[in-house]
């Protein structure tokens, strides 16, 4: 697999979406800007931003908007981050309340420059949400914290409903796709989340990077072996720019359905699979589905 640019055919019909209405999108963007908050929806140029913003949902991104890692698939800025904003947890909680959210999804850039990787900010956000929005549930999509257990325990202490950490790709492609990350270390994060917390665990894979069917089956079985509750499968779409990994293949919609069945057969209880599926897409709906079907 190469990062060099090569012509791709036009996007297949199932990957084309109508342009959304800009009214609600502009209003939400302005609200985030005025409060100094970031969303991964904008920073990573998610293809679902129109649908999500139009329905007043978003995935907050904390610990700044500059990542200390440079992954081949990700469009979030990389470099030297600024210091953490101590007012960020309260601002995020107030923003979620103003939007009317009862299920809040929060992710973060990697902060390898911090001793705890930014875990204490996750905890502060969780506590702020609970004190601001009665009955709120929240989902955290976390980095690997370089495999350290203490930061993970810190995150779990505030009681997220779902703890998400993405494998992103199969074992063979991990070194090329995920800067500084390790497949087995991510499995350990998911396993420890089960051991030290009560949250449902969740992971996701991007498809179309050159993985084989056999490698996907191995990844499904690996996720099942650490008792992952929720798996998301979606099509990788290359951001604009020369440095990003190219799309090796666009999977047809029916293949996503087939892979969903294989993942369920491997022992993963809740699988959400489709071309536009992303880690946090319809997160509240999926979490409720998992809670209902697994209890």
**Residues present in the chain in total:** 295
Q: What is the pLDDT of residues 50-59, one digit of tens each?
A: 444 444 456 8
Confidence label for 102 from pLDDT (cuts 50, 70 and 90): confident
Q: Read off the pLDDT of each residue in 195-211 and give the average, rounded to a whole number.
A: 97
Find tokens 């107030």 and name the residue: 94
Distances (CA, A) of 210 to 54, 174, 192, 207: 33, 11, 29, 8
Q: For position 41, what pLDDT does the model report? A: 43
End-to-end CA distance of the chain: 42
Superfamily for 19-294? Answer: Aldolase class I (3.20.20.70)
Distance from C-alpha of 237 to C-alpha of 247, rounded to nearest angstrom: 7
Helix H or strand E encompassing 258: helix 253-265
In this predicted structure, what is the pLDDT of residue 67? Answer: 95
State the pLDDT confidence band at 2, using cuts at 50, 70 and 90.
very low
Quote the CA–CA distance of 140 and 160 in Å, as a whole number.
7
Could you tell me the pLDDT band of residue 174, with boundaries at 50, 70 and 90? very high
3-state helix vs strand vs coil in the chain, percent to 5: 40, 15, 45
């Amino acid at each position: 697999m190469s990062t060099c640019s090569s012509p791709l055919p036009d996007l297949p019909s199932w990957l084309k979406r109508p342009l959304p209405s800009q009214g609600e999108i502009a209003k939400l963007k302005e609200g985030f800007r005025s409060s100094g908050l970031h969303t991964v929806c904008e920073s990573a140029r998610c293809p679902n931003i129109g649908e999500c913003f139009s329905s007043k949902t978003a995935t907050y991104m904390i610990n700044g908007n500059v990542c200390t890692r440079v992954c081949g698939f990700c469009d979030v800025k990389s470099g030297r981050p600024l210091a953490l904003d101590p007012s960020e947890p309260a601002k995020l909680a107030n923003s979620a309340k103003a939007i009317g959210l009862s299920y809040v999804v929060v992710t973060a850039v990697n902060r390898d420059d911090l001793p705890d990787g930014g875990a204490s900010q996750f905890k502060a956000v969780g506590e702020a949400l609970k004190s601001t929005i009665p009955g709120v549930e929240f989902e955290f999509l976390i980095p690997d914290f370089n495999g350290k257990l203490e930061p993970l325990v810190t995150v779990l202490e505030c009681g997220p409903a779902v703890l998400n950490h993405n494998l992103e790709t199969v074992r063979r492609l991990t070194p090329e796709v995920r800067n500084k990350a390790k497949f087995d270390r991510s499995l350990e994060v998911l396993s420890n989340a089960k051991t030290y917390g009560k949250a449902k665990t969740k992971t996701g894979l991007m498809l179309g990077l050159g993985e084989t069917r056999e490698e996907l089956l191995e990844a499904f079985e690996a996720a099942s072996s650490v008792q992952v509750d929720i798996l998301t499968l979606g099509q990788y779409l290359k951001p604009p720019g020369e440095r990003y990994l190219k799309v090796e293949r666009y999977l047809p919609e029916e293949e996503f359905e087939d892979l969903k069945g294989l993942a369920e057969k491997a022992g993963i209880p809740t699988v959400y699979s489709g071309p536009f599926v992303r880690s946090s897409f319809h997160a509240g709906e999926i979490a409720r589905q998992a809670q209902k079907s697994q209890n």
